[in-house]
């Protein structure tokens, strides 16, 4: 008899033998399936070749060419011939369908019966302005309006280019407005209700595209800020030294380019140091940007004129309330100005030269050929912050045209004042190739109002940005209490503010 240990060994050996038998059986089954599959595939290929050969023989007997076969969409595809020879292959047809589906249909907007103040010196009456895909497509009396166009009858209204705010705060978000703006905000609606379609926020020009971020940013890096004041002599010296160093470098580069024609081994001037402030000075001297600087007094303005003429840089001066006293000098330097006609600064009684501000400042500057635009008086946030919701009445989003109206009060013509809000503002910002006038090819930005924009009772009826109606007075509740075509001399409502002295609250 076997011992218990021998019994366990015998059982283990039997189990191992059984497992080996099972594995061998599975191996034979898999080998058989693989062989059968290969034989079937070989037979299928042989049959296909035989059929192909038979088909080729039959087609040859009939005098026809065999059809080429290949994968769909591959280079071996054959075009399906039609009677006129124009039918495309299946792959080409699919691509054509996809292209048609990807192409967006043209969008049209037509302003009919329009009185257009184009800011080019012309007024077009009873014309149609046809816009296509956000651009002005055609202006005239015989314009054919497509059936798919949105039609806006502006009979009885005035059509101006959209107004441009050269300085603004709070309308759009900071930094890149396309990443930080609320396109449904109240501030945006208020600015559109004032006819503003483009604003300088931060250091870029942005469209007030209500409800969408598409095509919001128009141009970046409008200006280079320059600190050049008589109150900071060391800063003035630093600016002049930096500009002089960059100018000398550009002269060395020009000499190097000339020398390289005869001497290929000429050494190129080092450019690694052109960073920070030097990079800014490089843009100014090359004319890639204008310098924006605050200056008001005669002494400061003359210093800036000298700087501009010495280095050939373009200057945009903010303030310039004593510009009227040196207007010929400013004109020779070809500077531009952002002014506030209602600035009030008393003359210096201890000075024997003209000083202080005057409401005639804008008119005098314009008469001397100086390009100008307007900004409100300084607010709580400092001088020259532009229109915003951070100031008191008179500095807010609704009063930009009133700043130009103060210039008219000082002798500026109405046309010149409107140019300061449209085309001249666009030229100062370097975006006049797209906005500022109503001309074919420019952006379809319009301010449609019910009267003279420089009158305080004039209201925007529609404001259009990039060929889209961004503001419609009838669809907004902001000014629904104001009657259409109301009597200018009508008495104020009973709840008007502020109350007069002696009246009950």
- The DSSP line for 215-239 is T-EEES--EEE----TT-HHHHHHH
Say what the pLDDT of residue 192 is. 93
Residue closest to 221 by CA, chosen among 243, 242, 234, 206: 206
**What's the CATH number of domain 220-433, 3.20.20.140, 3.40.718.10, 3.40.50.300, 1.20.1560.10?**
3.20.20.140
Return the percentage of the chain with pLDDT > 70, whole number.
Answer: 71
Query: Does residue 289 surpass a pLDDT of 80?
Result: yes
| Spans of all domains in the chain | 220-433
Q: What digits encode the pLDDT tens for the residues 311-352?
A: 999 999 999 999 999 999 999 999 999 999 988 899 999 988
Half-sphere exposure of 419 (CA within 13 A, CB side): 18
> What is the model's pLDDT at position 50?
44
Kindly report, residue by residue over 171-201, the tens digit of the pLDDT. 777 777 777 788 888 888 888 999 999 998 8
Q: 307 pLDDT band (50/70/90 cuts)?
A: very high
Three-state SS annotation for 370-432: CEEEECCCCECCECCCCECCCCCCCCCCCCHHHHHHHHHHCCCCHHHHHHHHCHHHHHHHCCC
Mean pLDDT, residues 405-423 taken together: 96
pLDDT mean over 375-400: 59
Output the CA torsion 24→29→34→35 (10° steps).
100
Q: 22-38 burial, b for 16+ CB within 10 Å, e for fewer? A: eeeeeeeeeeeeeeeee
Determine the pLDDT at residue 55: 47
Instruction: Work out the average pLDDT over 146-166.
Output: 96
Q: Tell me: the pLDDT tens digits for 235-270?
A: 999 999 999 999 999 999 999 999 888 888 888 899
pLDDT of residue 304: 96
Q: How confident is residue 388, by pLDDT bands cut at 50, 70 and 90?
A: low
The answer to whether 125 and 136 have CB atoms below 8 angstroms apart is no
Which pLDDT does position 25 carry in this prediction? 61
DSSP state of 203: T
Cα–Cα distances in angstroms (integers) from residue 290 to residues 285, 303, 486, in the given order: 9, 17, 45
> Is the pLDDT at 366 greater than 70, yes or no?
yes
Judge whether residue 439 has pLDDT over 90.
yes
The whole-model pTM stands at 0.74
Considering 209-213, 434-438, 491-495, the range whose residues carry the highest mean pLDDT is 434-438
Residue 20 has pLDDT above 80, yes or no: no
Averaging pLDDT over each range in 87-91, 281-285, 495-499, which range is the top one? 281-285
Tokens of 425: 């503002």
β-partners of residue 440 are: none
Task: Give yes or no for residue 43 having a pLDDT over 70.
Answer: no
Q: Given a cut of 50, is residue 61 above it in pLDDT? A: no
Q: What is the per-residue pLDDT for 170?
A: 72
162 has pLDDT over 80:
yes
Between 121 and 79, residue with greater pLDDT: 121
Q: What whole-number distance in Å separates Cα of residue 385 and Cα of residue 228?
A: 19
Q: Alpha-carbon distance 338 to 271, whole Å? A: 35
Residue 94: pLDDT over 70: no
Quickly state the pLDDT bin for 230 (edges 50, 70, 90): confident
User: pLDDT value at position 21?
Assistant: 65
pLDDT score recorded for residue 68: 44
pLDDT per residue as tens digits for the range 165-178: 998 877 777 777 77
What local confidence, expressed as pLDDT, does residue 22 receive?
A: 61
Looking at residue 503, what is its pLDDT? 53
Give whichever of 165-169, 419-423, 470-474, 478-482 has the largest mean pLDDT.
Answer: 419-423
Give the pLDDT mean for 45-52: 46
Percentage helix, strand, coil for the chain under 3-state DSSP, each rounded to 5: 35, 20, 45
Tell me: pLDDT of 46 over 60: no
Mean pLDDT of 106-124: 96
pLDDT for 27: 60
Average pLDDT of the chain, as a whole number: 81
Q: Across residues 22-48, what is the average pLDDT?
A: 54
- pLDDT for the residue numbered 423: 98
Please determine, for residue 139, whether its predicted confidence score (pLDDT) is greater than 90: yes
Q: What is the pLDDT of residue 6?
A: 53
The share of the chain scoring above pLDDT 90, in percent, equals: 53
pLDDT at 301 over 60: yes
pLDDT band at 485 (very low <50, low <70, confident <90, very high): low
């Amino acid at each position: 008899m076997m011992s218990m240990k021998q019994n366990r060994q015998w059982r283990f050996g039997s189990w191992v033998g059984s497992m080996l038998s099972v594995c061998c059986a599975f191996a034979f089954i898999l080998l058989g399936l693989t062989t059968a599959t290969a034989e079937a595939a070989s037979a299928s290929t042989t049959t296909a070749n035989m059929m192909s050969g038979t088909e080729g023989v039959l087609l040859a007997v009939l005098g026809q060419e065999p059809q080429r076969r290949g994968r769909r969409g591959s280079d071996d595809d054959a075009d399906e011939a039609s009677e006129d020879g124009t039918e495309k292959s299946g792959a080409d047809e699919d691509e054509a369908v996809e292209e048609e589906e990807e192409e967006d249909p043209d969008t049209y907007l037509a302003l009919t019966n329009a009185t257009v103040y184009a800011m080019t010196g012309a007024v077009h009456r009873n014309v149609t302005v046809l816009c296509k895909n956000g651009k002005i497509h055609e202006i005239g009396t015989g314009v054919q309006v497509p059936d798919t166009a949105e039609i806006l009858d502006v009979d009885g209204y005035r059509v101006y280019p959209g107004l441009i705010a050269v300085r603004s705060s709070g309308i759009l978000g900071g930094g890149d407005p396309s990443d930080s703006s609320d396109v449904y905000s109240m501030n945006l609606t208020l600015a559109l209700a004032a006819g503003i379609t483009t604003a300088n926020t931060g250091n870029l020009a942005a469209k007030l595209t209500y409800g969408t971020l598409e095509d919001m940013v128009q141009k970046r890096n409008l200006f280079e800020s320059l600190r050049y004041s008589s109150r900071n002599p060391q800063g003035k010296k630093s600016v002049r030294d930096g500009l002089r160093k960059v100018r000398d470098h550009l002269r060395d580069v020009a000499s190097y380019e000339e020398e390289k024609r005869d001497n290929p081994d000429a050494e190129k001037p080092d450019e690694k140091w052109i960073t920070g402030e030097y990079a800014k000075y490089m843009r100014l001297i090359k004319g890639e940007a204008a310098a924006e600087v605050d200056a008001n007094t005669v002494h400061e303005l003359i210093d800036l004129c000298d700087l501009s003429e010495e280095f050939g840089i373009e200057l945009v001066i903010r303030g310039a309330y004593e510009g009227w006293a040196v207007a010929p000098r400013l004109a020779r330097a070809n500077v531009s100005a952002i002014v506030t006609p209602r600035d009030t600064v008393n003359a210096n009684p201890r000075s024997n030269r003209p000083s202080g501000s005057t409401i005639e400042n804008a008119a005098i500057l314009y008469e001397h050929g100086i390009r100008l635009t307007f900004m409100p008086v300084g607010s709580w946030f400092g001088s020259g912050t532009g229109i915003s919701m951070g100031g008191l009445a008179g500095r807010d989003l609704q009063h930009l045209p009133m700043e130009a109206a103060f210039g008219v009060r000082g002798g500026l013509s109405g046309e010149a004042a409107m140019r300061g809000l449209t085309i001249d503002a666009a030229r100062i910002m370097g975006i006049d190739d797209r906005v500022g006038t109503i001309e074919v090819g420019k952006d379809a930005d319009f301010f449609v109002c019910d009267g003279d924009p420089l009158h305080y009772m004039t209201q925007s009826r529609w404001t259009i940005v990039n060929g889209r109606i961004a503001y419609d007075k009838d669809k907004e509740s902001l000014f629904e209490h104001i009657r259409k075509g109301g009597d200018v001399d009508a008495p104020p409502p009973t709840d008007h503010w502020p109350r007069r002295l002696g009246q009950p609250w």
